[in-house]
Amino acid sequence: MRNLALFAFLLGTASPAAAQPPTLDALLREFSALPGLEARFVEEKRIALLAVPLRSEGRIYFSGHRLMRRVTSPEESSALIADGQLTMRSGERVEQLSISSNPVLRGFVESFRAVLAGDREVLERFYQTELTPTDEGWELLLRPRNADLRRFLRSIRMRGSGVTIHEMRMVEVSGDETRTEFFDVNTERHFSDSEASRIFRIR
């Protein structure tokens, strides 16, 4: 029996205790322990007035409370969340917005950032949460609490396994839907000081 247990451990097979359905607290604790994250994403936005969805590709980076999203196709753009500010660049145009002074903007921002940071207090300040076990891992449903946010957003669903988020779907009140898939997810990403200063800045 001991050899069988050791063999299962080496293969990464879940023990009966590890196979228990995840709880939101346990899942967010795992996220809070992440050193950093890097992933490639492919996003499709379906808009009712357009016959073909808008598609974009790029990479995301997360470290501490900093989140950088860089779109590489079809046109380059970037968005950085850091120090209570959202800074966006498209072409030569750079715009900066205060997150803390805009509850609707902060609600959108915290839907993803608070999960990666494992910050349940902030997540549940803006959303009703429902975590459901799936065959592959888990699905997290977020419904906005704030009345202003509810005028724009119906729900956000995240699907993942462990601390890897595979997909996020955002459904707006208008019926428009954004589906983001994540690939090559590195949840053990460590950023050196030089890397961090290069990656987590708008240029």
Q: Would you place residue 64 in the very low, low, confident or very high pLDDT band (cuts 50, 70, 90)?
A: confident
Q: Is the pLDDT of residue 11 over 80?
A: no
Single-letter amino acid code for the residue at 3: N
- Summarised one tens digit per residue, pLDDT across range 115-129 is 999 999 999 999 999
Element (H, E) at 98: strand 93-98
User: Do 37 and 116 contact (CB within 8 A), yes or no?
Assistant: yes
User: Do 97 and 83 contact (CB within 8 A), yes or no?
Assistant: no
Give me the pLDDT at residue 20, please: 62
Q: Would you place residue 194 in the very low, low, confident or very high pLDDT band (cuts 50, 70, 90)?
A: very high
From 5, 10, 54, 30, select the one nearest 119 (Cα to Cα).
Answer: 30
Mean pLDDT estimate for the chain = 88
Give me the pLDDT at residue 21, please: 62
To 5 degrees, how large is the angle CA 176–CA 182–CA 188?
145
Give me the pLDDT at residue 6, please: 34
**How many of the other CB atoms lie within 10 Å of CB of 142?**
25
Rounded distance, CA 201 to CA 203, Å? 6
**Which residue has better confidence, 135 or 4?**
135
From 112, 181, 105, 106, select the one nearest 142 (Cα to Cα).
Answer: 112
| Average pLDDT, integer, range 63-82 | 94
The pTM score is 0.85
Per DSSP, 14 falls in state P
User: Do 146 and 104 contact (CB within 8 A), yes or no?
Assistant: yes
Q: Is the pLDDT of residue 78 over 80?
A: yes
Q: Would you place residue 14 in the very low, low, confident or very high pLDDT band (cuts 50, 70, 90)?
A: very low
**Which residue has better confidence, 50 or 153?**
153
| Average pLDDT, integer, range 192-201 | 93
| Average pLDDT, integer, range 82-100 | 91
User: Do 31 and 116 contact (CB within 8 A), yes or no?
Assistant: yes
52 exposed, middle or buried (CB, 10 Å; 0-12, 13-18, 19+)?
A: exposed
